[in-house]
Homo-oligomer: A and B are copies of this chain.
Amino acid sequence: MALIVQKYGGTSVGSVERIHAVAEKVKSWHDRGHQVVVVVSAMSGETNRLIGLAKEVNPDPSPREMDVLLSTGEQVTIALLAMALHRLGVDARSYTGGQVHIRTDSAHSKARIMDIDGTRVRADLDAGRVVVVAGFQGVDESGAITTLGRGGSDTTAVAMAAALKADECQIYTDVDGVYTTDPRVEPKARRLDRITFEEMLEMASSGSKVLQIRSVEFAGKYNVPLRVLSSFEEGEGTLITLEEEENVEQAKISGIAFSRDEAKLTIRGVPDHPGVAYQILGPIGEANIEVDMIVQNIGKDGTTDFTFTVHRNELNRALEILRKTADELGAREVEADDKIVKIALVGVGMRSHAGIASTMFKALADERINIQMISTSEIKVSVIVEEKYLELAVRTLHEAFHLDQAA
């Protein structure tokens, strides 16, 4: 008998039929003798409907009241799922975030969980009940309703699993696990049986959208085994755990992530002197624009070229700031390019294996794909290439590292 926390997202509970299907799935675990806590999101579409209502009432709604409004979405789902479980003869009780004391800070719309009191949930589980908890929400010290921001239900599930010392936290989604890369780009992409928290984080931060970064961080921190699986199909999904020594030797590379959300900015011919990087990036940071990759080349003439990437949505704002900076610094020119993509090779095996990067660069060169920028971390190599090469580059690397074959 295990204690399992399951999380079903908005699509998984998007209709009465889907809610019945989730209830059946929950029942099947409960029938096998497991203790089950279910965390649910708002029915798909509901959050947007509520946001629409709010915007009609006030174009700039207060975050506090927005949280009061949006938290009703999950509250509807928990009640309906409990009713669906009752119909199957399963004893179940629903709770809002506040009712199970999911204590957060007061940062409305992006609150962080501080603490969960598992007493009530444990009592229900011990009484043989399934416990249904509203994801995405909590209460602050004063009792005000808070939300964790979009995707926060994953975090609720992981935090609940950590608080209850659950054996596994299962995230049900519309894909059946984590893949070596996006199957829409590379049909040979293969579902991974296991991946480490670190790798999952690098995959997520490089564009793989299976899980919210914060929930993976949380799971890693509290060592909660996390499993991603499909709410629509049967299957084992992908288990995300701490690194296991014996596997490291074999699996050099776990997957290839990519992101189309990147744009590149270059400032050329900046008179070089200490502190120039800060002078260029300072104003960008002050404008709350996040910078991803950074490359600086020193030229021969005492000037420097400086290139960095930002989210594509921020390109225009960043460009405007950079032009001002260029004037102030007496730079020669400023260039912007949003026809680029980032491709990242991720794997804990990189740590102990030299030559991963060079294999990557050679494979791309063989296909005459020009690499514009390179950035490396302990378990990741990222490159920026022209957007039109995305599919070719991903397939080439998938092949080069034999990712279609299980390690």
B contact residues around A79 at 8 Å (CB): 54, 65-66, 68-69
Find out whether the CB atom of A93 lies under 8 angstroms from the CB atom of B64.
yes
Q: For the complex, what is the distance from the CA of A50 to the CA of B15, rounded to whole Å?
A: 13
| Docked complex: A1-52 residues within 8 A CB-CB of B | 16, 19-20, 50
- The size of the chain A interface, using a CB distance under 8 A, is 36
**Would you call A56 and B86 a contact (CB within 8 A)?**
no
Measured in the bound complex, the distance between the Cα atoms of B61 and A96 in whole Å is 18
A86 and B68 contact, CB distance less than 8 A: no
Known A-B contacts A16-B56, A19-B57; A86 and B65 likewise in contact (beta carbons under 8 Å): yes
Q: Tell me the dominant secondary structure on chain A's binding face.
A: helix
Asked if A143 is at the interface of the complex by the 8 Å CB criterion, the answer is yes
C-alpha gap A23/B282 in the complex (Å): 44
**Neighbouring B residues of A61 by C-beta, 8 Å:** 83, 86
The reply on A98 being an interface residue by CB < 8 A is yes
Interface status of A181 (Cβ within 8 A of chain B): no
Please report the C-alpha to C-alpha distance between residue A75 and residue B31 in the assembled complex, in whole angstroms: 35
**In this assembly, does A405 line the interface, its C-beta being within 8 Å of a C-beta of chain B?**
no
Known: A75-B72, A75-B75, A76-B69. A83 touches B54 (CB 8 A): yes
User: In the complex, which residues of chain B have a beta carbon less than 8 angstroms from the beta carbon of A96?
Assistant: 68, 145
A83 interface neighbour in B57, B72, B86, Cβ under 8 Å: B57
Q: Is A99 close to B, CB under 8 A?
A: yes
Known: A86-B62, A87-B58, A98-B98. A53 touches B80 (CB 8 A): yes
Which residue of chain B lies nearest to A98 when distances are taken between CB atoms in the complex?
A: B98
Q: Is A82 part of the contact surface with B, judged by Cβ < 8 Å?
A: yes
CB of A94 within 8 Å of the partner chain = yes
Further contacts, 8 of them, CB under 8 A, given A65-B86, A68-B94: A16-B57, A65-B80, A65-B94, A68-B75, A68-B82, A69-B79, A69-B80, A96-B145
